[in-house]
Amino acid sequence: MQNYNNIQKFLHDFVLNKKIINKSLFELEKMIYLKNRDIVNQSHVFITGLARSGTTSLLNFLFSSDEYASLTYNNMPFILSPNFSKLFNKKNIIKKERLHGDGINFDNNSPEALDEVFFDNNEEFVKNELKNYIQLILLSNKKNKYLSKNNLSFKRIDLIQSILPNSIFLIPIREPLHQANSLLNQHLRFIQLQKENDFIRRYMNYLGHNEFGLSHKPWNKPINFNNLNNINYWLEQWNLFYEFIYMKFQSYENCYFVVYEELHNPNYVEKILKKINLEKFKHIDFKFFRNSNKKEINIEYDKNIFDKSQLLYQSFIQSK
């Protein structure tokens, strides 16, 4: 997005800033491409959780199995019309590191968290159209199962599974101090990037990426810490977020907590593959899993919120 020319920026602003355009293209695409296929009984996978917990690494790893259809950069900016989007000539993106500066590279064919553009509509629309939308994505990729990464989908797990009862939800969790520090660093990084290029801010807003940067939206109302430039704010957000996740979803048979620090363990990864019915995917390429927790964090933090978060983190490790 940082290298888009003025025409590309205008097109993204024009299409993504107006829901009526996206919805109109969606309705037209349904008329032309939609077929009556039964996708309800498939084990679609939804990756969701707090940012900087390994959600993108998990997405790229599962997508490499070639078993799933996902939205990719090729679908931009026509996210609600995945078949139409293939008709447009796209400027080829040479594989490069994403703006986060975290060693994760992407190109046109890389999967990305884009479906919030669909979910950012009223609940009635989602109820009526989710199966149609996923079916269009599957048709465009000639696949049977959908793979989504959306850090906001934790809010709608009940809704999604009421529509697609065999869906599986993977919720990554990372050691709290390292995850909070990563969130803080990305927040400061994207503030600077967005000040230098306002299109980056607009682009992220269109896609619902308000995890950090100038348009940051807290997952929960802060209680004791309000300074976004202090790690205690992010530690408290970590704790509030995962308290809800643990209490709400620990008993859900189709929700699995994925411990970031265990993703280098072949036996652990094989267990995840078994849970999502992907045992035949034998080639585990650990290039997708970068353990960034090796760096020592020399930063002052509130001991009470840190200890509380550590206890909660251990609860996740000891859970199913």
DSSP, residue by residue, 278-293: -TT-----GGG---GG
**By three-state DSSP, how is residue 203 classified?**
helix
Which residues are registered as beta bridge partners of 297? none
The whole-number pLDDT of residue 34 equals 94
Report yes or no: 211 and 51 within 8 Å, Cβ to Cβ: yes
Which residues are registered as beta bridge partners of 255? 169
Q: What is the domain range of residue 170?
A: 6-318
Tell me the CATH number at 141: 3.40.50
Residue 155: CA atoms inside 13 Å, Cβ hemisphere, count? 10
Residue 129 domain flag: yes
Residue 195 domain flag: yes
Residue 1 domain flag: no
Contacts of 280 (CB under 8 A, 6+ apart): none
Residue 11 domain flag: yes
Residue 265 domain flag: yes
Residue 294 domain flag: yes
Residues of the chain scoring pLDDT < 50: none
The whole-number pLDDT of residue 298 equals 85
Measured distance CA(206)–CA(153) in Å, rounded: 16
The whole-number pLDDT of residue 86 equals 79
The whole-number pLDDT of residue 149 equals 97
- Give the tokens for residue 63: 């997508």
- Give the tokens for residue 198: 């306002």
The whole-number pLDDT of residue 292 equals 62
- How many domains is the chain built from? 1
Alpha helices in 142-228 (DSSP H): 157-163, 176-196, 198-206
Residue 64 domain flag: yes
pTM of the model: 0.93
